Structures are given as C-alpha cells and as structure tokens.
C-alpha cells in the first residue's frame, strides 16, 4: 500500500528537468550517503508508483531521493538521441551534481537498474553501491535465448497503448501478467496511479511516435566488467521477464556482484513485499565499504 505522493521539485540537470521527491533526513545531516531510487520503464511508472511502499522504511535512517526518469512522471519528456543508457547515465550524474551529491547508493528497478549499472561503470565517483532488480543490461541469457528475445516489455507496452488505447483494466492486466506474483494483491491505488500517469499527454505522444524517441539500445556487456562497487542483484523467483539464472550470470560479470532471490515475488518485489525487501537491502547497504572490496572511486 502506498499513500499520497509527497511534494517534489523540478531540478535542472544541465538543461533537462528531473522531478525529485526527497524523504528522510535533510541532505548533509547524516553520515549515511544518500539513497537514490530509479524506477522501471513500464507504462505509467514513476518513482512513487514503484517505491512508494518501501521508501518510507529507508527514510527512517537515510536521505532518500526518488527520481522520475526522463520521459516519465513529472520529469521532462525530452527526445533522446544516440546511445540511450549513456544519455541517462550522463544526465543522472548531472542531476547529482545539481543536488550537490557527489556519491550515493542506488536502489533500482528494471529500466532504472540498467541506467545505474552504466552510471557505475562510467561515473564511478558517483556510486558507492547498487541494488538492481529485474534489469536487462545484456541481450543474452546464460543457457538459452531471453524470453521473446528480450522484447517482452516492449511488446507489452505496444499492446497497452495500442488498440483502443490505455484503460485501467488493461493496466491491471499488464501488472498481473508481468509484474506481480499475486495478482489479487495488486493495490487499486497503484493501478489508478499508473493508469493516470500513462495517459499524460506527453507520455502518450512519446508512446505513439515511431522515430525512436528513447534513443539507441545498448548492450552493456563490456561496461559490467568496469564496475568496481558492490552490486546486489535482488530478484523475484518468478520474474516474468528474466528468470534467476539471468541475474546469476550478471553477478558473475561484476567484480563484486552477489544475488538474492526472493520467493513468491515477480518483477516488482519491492512493492509486493516491501518489509522483506527493506530488510535484505538495508543489510547490504549497511556493509558499506567492506574490507577487501574495491571502492567505487
């Protein structure tokens, strides 16, 4: 369950506007580095829809920055040209500079996790540690092709916006089929929030365009080998996009990668089981700069 979305602010990140919600202690008032949340890429996703159930638990101790990614939520609906993950990593680094945050921990779902992995590879000074859930940074599986050749999310997006267009029942069906283990547990308010955001005129216009406004897809195989910070891949046992053999492969590709698989969870485990997710991730974050682990700087 999530409550009303807190008031956020628009932050200029070197020419693009990011919507950011701040929770917990004020920046600079705690020794713990800030915790940045980057959400997934499904229709209507925002920082609050994806993390509103769990962020208040982290905000009891940590400064939490919930970021609407560009082209989502209340952030700018700019057109992206060139390699997409490079663009997002650069602008997230610019956002941190605008917020006067040199270094942060990141908790990320799906689309946001791929962005954060690229950020950790190319802007090491910005990332202390990463928690990544349900992301697809490389285009192959360890033993077999990816489900629908990695296009399941794009096909679901096309189906949602296609036909007669978005509806609240279509949003519930999408979430039930691909994002939640227990369809009966999907909160009505989350469905409503996702639906209302998905019919934002600017988001609808992006979805209808055929000129690749999201940028060029990138495979990050080489980048994963450049990541020095600790990475926890937290996965749902029943993720409908990528089964747990995939993040096990990712963990082996990262110098300090590890994997946690949560039972009775799918693609949005941080929403499905927020207390369980919080306990696992908080323990990982508390390890900090462990002896013997290469620092991100």
The two three-digit tokens of residue 212, written as one number: 């690749």
Interaxial angle between packed helices 168-178 and 188-198, expressed in degrees from 0 to 180 and rounded to the nearest 10? 110
> How many of the other CB atoms lie within 10 Å of CB of 125?
11
Dihedral sign computed on CA atoms, order 191, 47, 140, 267: negative
What integer pLDDT is reported at residue 186 of this predicted model? 97
**Coil vs helix vs strand at 158:** helix
Q: How far is the CA of 253 from the CAs of 233, 239, 245, in angstroms? A: 12, 20, 13
Cβ atoms 116, 109 nearer than 8 A: no
Closest CA to 204 of 167, 245, 256: 167
pLDDT of 29 higher than 60:
yes
DSSP 163-209: TT---HHHHHHHHHHHT-S-GGG--HHHHHHHHHHHT-HHHHHHHH-
For the stretch 69-110, pLDDT in tens is 999 999 999 999 999 999 999 999 999 999 999 999 999 999
**Mean pLDDT to the nearest integer, 133-139:** 96
The rounded radius of gyration (Å) of the Cα atoms in the chain is 18
pLDDT greater than 60 at residue 177 = yes
Q: Nearest to residue 253, comparing CAs of 117, 105, 112, 81?
A: 117
Domain covering 9-286: architecture: 3-Layer(aba) Sandwich (3.40)
- C-alpha distances (whole Å) from 235 to each of 73, 155, 246 are 25, 22, 10
Considering the chain, what is the average pLDDT of its residues?
93
pTM to 2 decimals? 0.93
pLDDT of residue 208: 76
Phi, psi (degrees; rounded to nearest 5) at 65: -115, 110
Mean pLDDT of 176-201: 96
């Amino acid at each position: 369950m999530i409550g009303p979305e807190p008031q956020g602010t628009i932050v200029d990140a070197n020419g693009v506007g990011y919507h950011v919600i701040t929770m917990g202690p004020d920046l600079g008032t705690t020794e713990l580095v800030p915790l940045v949340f980057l959400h997934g890429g499904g229709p209507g996703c925002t920082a609050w829809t994806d993390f509103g159930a769990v962020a208040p638990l982290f905000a009891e101790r940590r400064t939490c920055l919930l970021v609407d990614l560009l082209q989502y939520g209340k952030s700018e609906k700019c057109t992206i040209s060139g390699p997409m993950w490079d663009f997002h990593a650069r602008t997230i680094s610019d956002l941190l500079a605008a917020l006067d945050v040199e270094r942060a921990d990141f908790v990320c779902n799906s689309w946001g996790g791929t962005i954060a992995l690229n950020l950790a590879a190319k802007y090491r000074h910005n990332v202390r540690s990463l928690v990544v859930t349900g992301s697809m940074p490389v285009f192959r599986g360890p033993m077999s092709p990816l489900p629908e050749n990695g296009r399941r999310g794009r096909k679901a997006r096309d189906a949602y916006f296609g036909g007669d267009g978005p509806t609240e029942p279509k949003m519930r069906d999408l979430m039930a089929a691909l994002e939640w283990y227990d369809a009966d547990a999907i909160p009505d308010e989350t469905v409503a929030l996702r639906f209302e955001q998905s019919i934002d005129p600017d988001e609808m216009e992006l979805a209808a365009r055929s000129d690749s406004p999201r940028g060029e897809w990138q495979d990050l195989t080489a980048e994963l080998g450049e990541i020095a910070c600790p990475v926890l891949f937290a996965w749902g046992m029943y993720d409908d996009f990528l089964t747990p053999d995939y993040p096990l492969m990712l963990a082996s590709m990262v110098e300090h990668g590890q994997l946690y698989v949560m039972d009775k969870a799918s693609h949005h485990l941080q929403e499905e089981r927020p207390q369980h997710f919080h306990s696992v991730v908080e323990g990982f974050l508390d390890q900090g700069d462990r002896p013997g682990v290469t620092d991100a700087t």
